A and B are shown apart, each in its own frame.
Chain A
Amino acid sequence: MENKITSESFTIPMGPQHPALKEPGHFQFTVDGEIVTRAYVRLGYAHRGIEKAAESRNWVQDLYLLERVCGICSHIHSFAYCLAVEQLAHVEAPPRAQAIRVLVAELERIHSHFLWMGVSAHEAGFDTLFMYSWRDRETVMDILEGLTGNRVNYSANILGGVKFDVDDVQAASIRKGLDFLEERTNHYLQVLGKDAMFLQRTRGIGVMTRAQAEVLGAVGPTARASNVMRDMRVTAPYSAYRQFSIRMMLDSRGDLEARFQVRVQELLESIRLIRQILDNLPQGELSVHLPRRIPAGEAAVRLEAPRGEVFYYIKSNGTDKPERLKVRTPTICNLNSVIRLAVGHQLADVPMILAGIDPCFSCNDRMVTLADERDGSERLMTWSELRQHGIDFYKQAAK
């Protein structure tokens, strides 16, 4: 990536590759001294043309294709796809299947939020929290593996229902795992709210007001941390969320600390909901039959992924393949909003601001070019060096 040099500021490109998301990003920050003056995103480095590919595959094949949109929140994509196709076919999955879908979705949220907590703790230089939260995450990964057979890409959904049942032995092991996770989550809630070094990196940083969040179209925990009531599970309940209601976690502060608090409290709420589902799992079939050809029509569904609202649009022309399929993932909305927040902040805060929206972005090294306009020199910086710069910057500030 070429560096565009303007008269009095540096341009710092960050990125691009990241294999885990649909949206790996290349970020370019223009800085004046230490202050970011302009931020720019370039996506597409792992754009795989899934929407186009879906048009040339049949309805069943697309289920497996779409589950692979994201490696972290894979279930929510097949969930959304199944809901939309079932809506087109005018069938509804049996109540037990819907409850199991939500059960897996909430387990996935726990796994995703724990993963995010580790990554952002790492960005802040708090590697102890990183290691502990990833160790704890293994518990929920084991639950998911025991339930579905896979640690990722669970393949729980089929068109018209789910693939597997939850028996009493599995329910008992899930409950046992949840007890441990609940204890740990309560511990993290305390750590994140009290640790002075950590608060220095989160409190008052990257503040997004409610009005900004609304105008810039933030979704999910990022929006809820700015007191925007946007949670599809509550505002537009789908599937088993109609029977099993969940509380929306809101915070009015809008800074990074609020984003941490909202997500960690969501963990507790997910744990509560999973217990409730296990206690009240409806009896009955696991799936209903769906025709190979789906009746012509259009369907749009909105679901709450771990990172926010995911939008699916499907148009059927009555054949065994979709005419058009559109996926709008939450990160694209949040990147767009938070990237604007970086303007006016210290360069040292950039890693945390980006990690704060959970873009699943910061776990590998990437090159950062610092171009010095004043003496014409140029130097390269990796993402981990930039991260270190952030940590050192705050260490200096603390002295």
Chain B
Amino acid sequence: MNNEEILTLAEQIVKSWDWKTEVSRSQPNQLDVNILNLEQFVPIVVGLRVKRLGYLSAIVGLDLGREANQLEVLYYFCEQSSMIVLHLRIPRQNARIPSLCEVIPSAEVFERELREMFGIEITGLKTIEYLYLPEDWPDGVFPMRKDADLTMVTAQTGKV
């Protein structure tokens, strides 16, 4: 399959699962999929897996800031030079998304990172110990959030 075929097939899978799903091409080799309903997320990933469309290259968390009051999670599925990017948007309070570990075991470390850095609860994630943060890290401080209180770090080093 070439890039175009991969992206077209991915678009078909996503559209056939839920025709309302928004799809766009921000780059020639990239398909951006906005997942509107969290319940659709895991089935769509299963669909991509069944067709062997890409492996999970990375999960990127984004804090869209206090005004937007949203967090965004990007799932990069890559095959050859094409990328299928699933976008999830969730509110900053009580952020919760489903885990992909049942479908993609290698998602575990990415999800653990996302959980501790952004404070997003991952439903179904079995290992919830810190992966990167120290054991004495204060509860409720999620360092990659834009408004994270990092005084405990700055007190030691003087800067972030």
Task: Please list the residues of chain A having a beta carbon within 8 angstroms of any beta carbon in chain B.
Answer: 42-44, 47, 49, 51-53, 56, 214-217, 235-237, 298, 300, 302, 309, 311, 313, 315, 324, 326, 328, 332-333, 335-337
Contacts and interface: CB of A to CB of B under 8 A. Distances in A.
A216 B143 contact: no
A215 B106 contact: yes
Nearest to A337: B106
Interface residues of B, number: 35
Contact of B57 (A216, A309, A315, A324): A309
Given A52-B144, A300-B30, A313-B74, 10 more contacts: A42-B131, A52-B150, A214-B55, A217-B55, A236-B80, A302-B57, A326-B61, A328-B58, A333-B106, A336-B109
B58 A43 contact: no
A215 B85 CA distance: 19
Contacts of A51: 144
A332 B129 contact: no
Interface string B39-72: 0000000000000000111101111000000000
Contact of B58 (A52, A237, A313): A313
Contacts of A302: 57, 78
Contact of A43 (B83, B131, B144, B150): B131
A52 B105 contact: no
A49 B106 contact: no
Contacts of A42: 129-131
A49 B131 contact: no
20 contacts: A42-B131, A44-B130, A44-B131, A44-B134, A52-B144, A56-B160, A215-B104, A216-B105, A216-B106, A236-B81, A300-B30, A300-B83, A311-B58, A313-B60, A324-B63, A326-B60, A328-B58, A332-B109, A333-B106, A336-B109
Most buried by B among A43, A215, A300, A309: A300
Most buried by A among B134, B159, B160: B160
B33 to A, nearest CB: 14
Give the dominant DSSP class at A's interface.
mixed
B26 interface: yes
A335 B108 CA distance: 12
Contacts of B56: 217
Most buried by A among B61, B74, B134, B153: B74
A336 B143 contact: no
B80 A336 contact: no
A47 B117 CA distance: 12
A371 to B, nearest CB: 19
Contacts of B76: 300, 311, 313
Given A311-B76, A313-B58, A52 B160 contact: yes
B43 to A, nearest CB: 19
A40 to B, nearest CB: 8
Contacts of B130: 42, 44
Contact of B160 (A53, A236, A337): A53
A332 B109 CA distance: 8
A399 B61 CA distance: 54
A311 B78 CA distance: 11
Contacts of B159: 56
